[in-house]
Structures are given as C-alpha cells and as structure tokens.
A and B are shown apart, each in its own frame.
Chain A
Amino acid sequence: MRREIPVFMGSTIGAIIIADYYVRVPWISTVAKELLDWTLILSAFALVLASINLVRKHVKSIAKSESTAPYSVLLLVVLAAFAFTGIAVGTTSASFRFLFDSILEPVSSSLMGTIGFYFLSAAYRTFRARNLEATLLLVAAVVVMLGRSTIGTFIWPGANGAAEWLLDVPNTAANRGIIIGAALGLVSAAVRLLLGIDRSYLGEE
C-alpha cells in the first residue's frame, strides 16, 4: 500500500492534467486547475525544507570553523536581509529593490560574465581539428562568430549570410531531428510515469 497509493495518485492526477489539455469538460478543467494550484503550495513547503537544509549546512560550517566559514556567514547575513526585507516591507519596496540592484543583479551578472572565460578555456582546450567532424565543428564555430559580430561582417561582408545559412539550414535540420526524438522520448518517459512503470520519484530503481 505504501507504494501503490502514491503510484495511483500520480497516475490519476497525470491523467486528469493530460485530459484537460485535450478536452474541454468543465469539471476536468476545474479539477486540473485546482491540482496545479496545489503543486505551487507543495513547492512552497518543499522550499522551506530545502532552506532548512541550506541554513543547517552553513551553520555547521561556521560551527566547525571550516575554511569556508566566512562565506557561510556572508551567505546567512544576505539571506536574512533579503528574507526580512521582503517580508517586512514587501518585495516591491524601495529597500528590497535596493538590495536587488546592489547585490543580486551585479552578482548574477558577474557570474554570467565568467561564462565567457569558461567558454574561452573550453575553446582553447577542446576545439582541435583532430578529425573531419572536429574540423567542421571548428570551421562552423568560426563562421558563426564572424557572422554574428560587426567586425566579422566588416572583414568578410558575406559572413552574416553564411552564419544565417548555417543556423537556418544544417543547424535547424539537426535540431528538428533532436526535437522530434526528444519529444517522443519525453512522451515515452511520461507514459512510463503514468503507467507506474517508472517509480523513481518514490526512490525505487
């Protein structure tokens, strides 16, 4: 029963949500929307659990005076600042906006910016013309970069057109194949979940 009830619930709820996508029956729509609202409520509770895990991990790090303890202190201070400001004065307040503009936005943008350096490292390390496929990959990367930059079109006026052709024709063709394959795989995986064959959400193999 410990396994059967969750599987039955999962299958029934999944079937209702899917039915709502295909048919317009008022009671199915009502039940489906209600169930989807419940997922948001469950997500909120899951976030509480996850937050406890996060705080516990960093408090332990501070208590053990690990090398990362100062960063844990910083994390907990900023977490508290965002939480209290958002709850006390609201997320649309000037204070919250100040925190967002001065902490979250620059930090997120900076981390996003480091991706450029990781790409550079990957390009230097792995883009080697070892064989025909790797050479084609290298040439395509260079053509697209030239085509999507002003300096590229300045050096080679046809670069934009070549890049657009590469993206429109071979790239889109390959992506279409992957989209279709992945979509069928997704439906098959969903069917496994609905039929209760795949019970990984219960921790089973």
Chain B
Amino acid sequence: MSKRPLDRRWLYLSLFFAVLIPLLRPIGLPIKVGAWTKTVYDFMDKIGPNDRVFFASDYGPGTAAENKPIGDAVAQHLMRKRAKIITITFTPEGTMYSRAIVDACVAAGYAYGTDVVDLGYLPGGEVGLAAIFSNVKKAVPKDARGTATDTIPLLKGVETIKDFKAIFQVATGVPGPQEYVRQNGAYQVPLTFGMSMNMMTMATAYVQAKQAVGIVPGLQGAAEYESLTGKFGFATIAMDSQSLAYVVYIAAMVMGNVYYFLDKRRGRSG
C-alpha cells in the first residue's frame, strides 16, 4: 500500500468537531420526511384509544443513541392517540428503556395496569418471542413490578398476540425483523419496526413483501417522526451532527481516492 501524507488522526479530529459543534450550536437544517417514516406514522395514526400495542424495546445502551429517539417519538405519538401500551424487551439491557417508556406514559396521565403495563425482560430470544406470541400470560406470569398478569386489567381477555392491534419493535440485533416476521407468520398482526440504519437493509424486503407495515429508519427516521408529531427531541438536534459527520466521511473517501490516483500517476505500487 502507498504512503498517505495525511495522518488519520486529523480525520478523527475533524469527525469529533463535526459531531460536537452542531450539538452545542444547532444549525437547524430542514428535515424532509421520507416515505418509510410516513408509512409508519400514517399506520400509527389510525390506532385508537382502546387498541393494545405490543411495544418491544430490544436494544441496549450501545445503540441507544440511535434507537431511543425512535422509541420515544413513536411512544409520544401513541400516547397522543391514547393507545394502550404493553412494553416488553427480549434483551437484558432493554429493561431500562421499557421502564422509561412506562414512566413517560405515567407522566402523561396513563394509569399503570389500565393504560400501560411493563412485562419486563423475557429471556430466550426467539424462543421467548414464540412463547409470548402463543400465550401472553403463560409466557409472562408476572409483570416487571411483580403483579400477576392474570390480575392486570389491561391484559384481561388477552391470550395471544392476535389480541393486539399492532406490534412495534425497536430493534438493534437479535431478536430482529427476521425473528418477528417468522413468529408472526401464524398470527399476521401488523408489524412495524424502528431500527438503526445498518439493520434497515434486512427489513426492507419484508416490508416490500407486505410481511411488515413499515420501518422508522435510524436517527433520521426519528427526526422525521418528531417533525410529523411536532414534538421535537434529541433526534432533531442530532441530525445536524449526523449531516456534518457524513460530510467528513465523504471528504475522507474523496481524499483517499485523490491520493490513490496521484500515486498511480506517479507510478508507485498500489
């Protein structure tokens, strides 16, 4: 490989400031809502006050910066529709984020047990998913607060996932879209996802095959959702940073190619 005159650390420094500066002094670049986010928003907008939504926060602190704003934006929308929210997670670290959704609901006037319930962490990944889809109360005998699910008013009459109006999963890994689509095959409950951009390529095929309704893609999707709901949050602020970071990436790729072609012209190897 040929020598590059530019020390990579200058690039790292550029990226650091490209992310930091807009967080301190937002630029306010306009956000254009894309088709994917709009599809999920339009679907969620049809959810009514007595409709139960299975809300899964399957992510951890590593990807919370991208996933949490998606979860928060959609939860805010569902709260505005006064939908009944049942939170759960299939990853151990997701319990914190499930709990945060419940706390936000309670702060918005929801009554725990009647309007919102936290089913906590269900281990086993896809196995746990299969179990709860087939029998909610048997898979989760007690909610996250230790109350028997048989006695919770919101879960009265709930047997399988078919008793839910919709499933919304904020995904970062496993279980992800593949597992949800597979397990939902027998029930056909409308599936929506919020996920990091890198996961999105996995889910678009399912949306096109109509096995899922839509995807909120990454931080930009969260910002778009916030602009649709009118409740601006971290995603909107962070979009400026993301934009400038992409400019740094593109500049790095261009520079890499410039050096490559200059080296080629000078007849060096590489």
Contact = CB atoms under 8 A, between A and B. Distances in A.
Interface string A158-195: 00100010011001100110010000000000000000
A112 B205 contact: no
A120 B252 contact: yes
B247 A151 contact: yes
A153 to B, nearest CB: 5
Interface stretch (B42-50, B58-66, B82-90): B58-66
Interface string B211-227: 00000011010010000
The SS class assigned to the A binding surface is helix
Given A104-B61, A121-B8, A127 B200 contact: no
A149 B243 contact: yes
Nearest to A105: B61
A153 B8 contact: no
A145 interface: yes
B253 interface: yes
A26 interface: no
Most B-side CB within 10 Å, residue of A120, A125, A145? A120
B249 A172 contact: no
A175 B201 contact: yes
A200 interface: no
Interface string B74-116: 0000000000000000000101100000000000000000000
A45 interface: no
Interface residues on chain A, size class: 35 or more
A154 B30 contact: yes
Contact of A151 (B12, B124, B243): B243
The SS class assigned to the B binding surface is helix
Contacts of B250: 142, 145-146
Interface in A95-154: 97, 100-101, 104-106, 108-109, 111-113, 116-117, 119-121, 123-125, 127-130, 138, 141-142, 145-146, 148-154
Interface residues on chain B, size class: 35 or more
A171 B260 CA distance: 27
B246 A145 contact: yes
Contacts of A60: none
A138 B201 contact: no
B201 A171 contact: yes
Interface string B1-32: 00010001001100100010000000001111
B239 interface: yes
Given A127-B253, A151-B246, A160 B32 contact: yes
B243 A111 contact: no
Nearest to B270: A128
Given A112-B62, A150-B30, A145 B257 contact: no
Contacts of B11: 120-121, 124
B72 to A, nearest CB: 16
14 contacts: A40-B123, A97-B96, A104-B93, A105-B64, A105-B96, A120-B249, A123-B253, A124-B4, A138-B253, A149-B239, A151-B244, A152-B246, A168-B208, A175-B202
Given A120-B249, A124-B11, 10 more contacts: A36-B131, A92-B95, A108-B61, A116-B15, A116-B19, A119-B249, A149-B220, A152-B243, A157-B32, A175-B202
Interface of B: 4, 8, 11-12, 15, 19, 29-32, 34-36, 60-65, 93, 95-96, 123-124, 127, 131, 144, 197, 200-202, 204-205, 208, 217-218, 220, 223, 239-240, 242-250, 252-253, 255-257, 260
